[in-house]
Protein backbone atom coordinates (compact mmCIF):
# COMPACT_ATOMS: atom_id res chain seq x y z
CA UNK A 1 0.00 0.00 0.00
CA UNK A 2 1.38 3.41 -0.97
CA UNK A 3 1.22 6.30 1.39
CA UNK A 4 -0.16 9.61 0.20
CA UNK A 5 2.31 12.40 0.54
CA UNK A 6 0.37 15.30 1.94
CA UNK A 7 1.95 18.60 2.82
CA UNK A 8 0.67 21.22 5.13
CA UNK A 9 0.11 24.40 3.11
CA UNK A 10 0.10 27.69 4.90
CA UNK A 11 -2.33 30.37 3.84
CA UNK A 12 -0.86 33.23 1.80
CA UNK A 13 -3.70 35.63 2.58
CA UNK A 14 -3.36 38.14 5.34
CA UNK A 15 -6.32 38.72 7.61
CA UNK A 16 -6.66 42.44 8.14
CA UNK A 17 -8.85 44.18 10.58
CA UNK A 18 -8.71 47.54 8.75
CA UNK A 19 -9.00 47.95 4.99
CA UNK A 20 -6.15 49.78 3.28
CA UNK A 21 -6.69 53.52 2.87
CA UNK A 22 -7.41 54.82 -0.62
CA UNK A 23 -5.27 57.81 -1.55
CA UNK A 24 -7.11 61.13 -1.91
CA UNK A 25 -8.33 62.07 -5.40
CA UNK A 26 -5.88 64.99 -5.52
CA UNK A 27 -3.00 62.48 -5.31
CA UNK A 28 -4.47 60.34 -8.10
CA UNK A 29 -5.30 63.03 -10.69
CA UNK A 30 -4.73 66.72 -11.21
CA UNK A 31 -8.35 67.68 -11.92
CA UNK A 32 -11.88 66.42 -11.27
CA UNK A 33 -13.57 67.46 -14.52
CA UNK A 34 -13.44 66.86 -18.27
CA UNK A 35 -12.41 69.52 -20.76
CA UNK A 36 -14.61 70.39 -23.73
CA UNK A 37 -12.22 68.56 -26.08
CA UNK A 38 -12.39 65.42 -23.95
CA UNK A 39 -16.20 65.58 -23.92
CA UNK A 40 -16.25 65.93 -27.72
CA UNK A 41 -14.01 62.86 -28.04
CA UNK A 42 -16.26 60.96 -25.63
CA UNK A 43 -19.33 61.93 -27.69
CA UNK A 44 -17.60 60.85 -30.92
CA UNK A 45 -16.85 57.46 -29.38
CA UNK A 46 -20.44 57.15 -28.12
CA UNK A 47 -21.83 57.83 -31.62
CA UNK A 48 -20.26 54.60 -32.89
CA UNK A 49 -22.66 52.26 -31.09
CA UNK A 50 -26.23 51.29 -31.90
CA UNK A 51 -27.81 54.11 -29.89
CA UNK A 52 -25.06 56.59 -30.68
CA UNK A 53 -27.14 59.73 -31.13
CA UNK A 54 -29.01 59.16 -27.87
CA UNK A 55 -25.83 58.45 -25.92
CA UNK A 56 -23.95 61.43 -27.36
CA UNK A 57 -26.91 63.70 -26.57
CA UNK A 58 -27.01 62.43 -22.98
CA UNK A 59 -23.28 63.10 -22.60
CA UNK A 60 -23.71 66.64 -23.96
CA UNK A 61 -26.64 67.45 -21.66
CA UNK A 62 -24.90 65.95 -18.62
CA UNK A 63 -21.73 67.93 -19.33
CA UNK A 64 -23.47 71.24 -19.94
CA UNK A 65 -25.78 71.07 -16.92
CA UNK A 66 -23.62 69.16 -14.44
CA UNK A 67 -26.03 66.26 -14.08
CA UNK A 68 -25.42 63.32 -11.84
CA UNK A 69 -26.27 59.98 -13.48
CA UNK A 70 -29.49 59.74 -11.46
CA UNK A 71 -30.56 63.21 -12.64
CA UNK A 72 -29.78 62.38 -16.25
CA UNK A 73 -31.78 59.16 -16.38
CA UNK A 74 -34.66 60.84 -14.54
CA UNK A 75 -34.88 63.59 -17.18
CA UNK A 76 -38.32 63.75 -18.79
CA UNK A 77 -39.51 65.42 -21.98
CA UNK A 78 -41.90 67.68 -20.07
CA UNK A 79 -38.87 69.30 -18.39
CA UNK A 80 -37.70 70.68 -21.74
CA UNK A 81 -39.31 73.76 -23.26
CA UNK A 82 -38.13 74.10 -26.83
CA UNK A 83 -40.04 77.34 -27.45
CA UNK A 84 -38.26 79.25 -24.69
CA UNK A 85 -35.05 77.21 -24.76
CA UNK A 86 -35.25 76.18 -21.12
CA UNK A 87 -34.54 73.01 -19.20
CA UNK A 88 -36.18 72.53 -15.81
CA UNK A 89 -33.67 70.69 -13.64
CA UNK A 90 -34.74 68.51 -10.72
CA UNK A 91 -31.75 67.82 -8.52
CA UNK A 92 -31.18 64.79 -6.32
CA UNK A 93 -29.44 64.75 -2.92
CA UNK A 94 -31.47 67.73 -1.69
CA UNK A 95 -30.18 70.01 -4.45
CA UNK A 96 -32.09 73.12 -5.46
CA UNK A 97 -34.30 72.80 -8.56
CA UNK A 98 -33.54 75.38 -11.22
CA UNK A 99 -34.12 76.37 -14.83
CA UNK A 100 -31.18 76.27 -17.24
CA UNK A 101 -30.98 77.73 -20.74
CA UNK A 102 -30.34 75.20 -23.48
CA UNK A 103 -28.12 76.20 -26.38
CA UNK A 104 -28.74 75.68 -30.07
CA UNK A 105 -26.68 72.52 -30.47
CA UNK A 106 -28.39 70.93 -27.47
CA UNK A 107 -31.81 71.88 -28.83
CA UNK A 108 -31.01 70.40 -32.24
CA UNK A 109 -29.64 67.19 -30.72
CA UNK A 110 -32.70 66.77 -28.47
CA UNK A 111 -35.15 67.52 -31.31
CA UNK A 112 -33.34 65.10 -33.62
CA UNK A 113 -33.54 62.39 -30.98
CA UNK A 114 -37.18 63.15 -30.30
CA UNK A 115 -37.98 62.96 -34.01
CA UNK A 116 -36.15 59.68 -34.52
CA UNK A 117 -37.74 57.97 -31.55
CA UNK A 118 -40.83 57.40 -33.65
CA UNK A 119 -40.37 54.82 -36.39
CA UNK A 120 -42.55 56.83 -38.81
CA UNK A 121 -40.09 59.74 -38.82
CA UNK A 122 -37.02 57.78 -39.76
CA UNK A 123 -35.91 58.06 -43.36
CA UNK A 124 -35.08 54.37 -43.51
CA UNK A 125 -38.67 53.30 -42.90
CA UNK A 126 -40.52 56.04 -44.73
CA UNK A 127 -38.76 55.10 -47.94
CA UNK A 128 -40.30 51.64 -47.76
CA UNK A 129 -43.75 50.75 -48.99
CA UNK A 130 -46.39 53.01 -47.42
CA UNK A 131 -48.61 50.00 -46.74
CA UNK A 132 -45.94 48.26 -44.71
CA UNK A 133 -47.19 49.75 -41.44
CA UNK A 134 -50.88 49.70 -42.26
CA UNK A 135 -52.84 48.73 -39.13
CA UNK A 136 -49.59 48.64 -37.12
CA UNK A 137 -51.00 50.97 -34.48
CA UNK A 138 -54.54 50.24 -33.50
CA UNK A 139 -56.77 53.11 -32.52
pLDDT of residue 117: 60
pLDDT of residue 136: 63
Q: Which residues of the chain have pLDDT under 70?
A: 1-3, 116-139
How far is 83 from 78, CA to CA, in rounded Å? 12
pLDDT of residue 41: 96
pLDDT of residue 129: 56
Helix (H, G, I), strand (E, B) or coil at 88: strand
> What are the chain's domains?
33-126 (1.10.443.10)
pLDDT of residue 25: 85
- The DSSP call for residue 79 is G
pLDDT of residue 13: 76
Q: For residue 51, which of 116, 126, 125, 123 has the smallest C-alpha distance? A: 116
How far is 89 from 99, CA to CA, in rounded Å? 6
* pLDDT, tens only, 44-84: 999 998 889 999 999 999 999 999 999 998 999 899 998 89
Amino acid sequence: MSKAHLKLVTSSTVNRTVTPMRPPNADLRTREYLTETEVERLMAAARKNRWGHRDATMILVAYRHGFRPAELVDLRWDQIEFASGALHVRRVKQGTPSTHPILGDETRALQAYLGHRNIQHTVRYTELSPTRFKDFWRT
